[in-house]
Amino acid sequence: MTAYLEGVMSPAERARFDEHLQGCRGCRTYLEQMRQTVQVLGTVPDGAITPAIQDELLGLFRNWKAGAK
């Protein structure tokens, strides 16, 4: 998803991914969630998140990601 959103996929990879998205509702939903997350986080001013909150968020993400395996 990140490579897709950042536009760094090769044209062949992007075409294959676009084709997959047409038939996969779950991936389309996840892609939209990622777009919204990027949009919202882009509006958070620098320094608005304290180091403690940032550490907590990163810890939550790591724990979530570890549990998803």
The answer, yes or no, to whether residue 2 has pLDDT greater than 80, is yes
Segment 41-47 mean pLDDT:
81
What digits encode the pLDDT tens for the residues 14-24?
999 999 999 99
Q: For helices 11-23 and 25-41, what crossing angle results, to 10°?
A: 110
With a threshold of 0.85, does the pTM exceed it? no
Q: Cα-Cα-Cα-Cα dihedral of 37, 5, 60, 66, to 10°?
A: 150
Q: Which two tokens stand for residue 23?
A: 């038939």
50 to each of 11, 31, 57, how far by Cα in Å?
39, 28, 11
Tell me, what amino acid is at 16?
R
DSSP 44: S
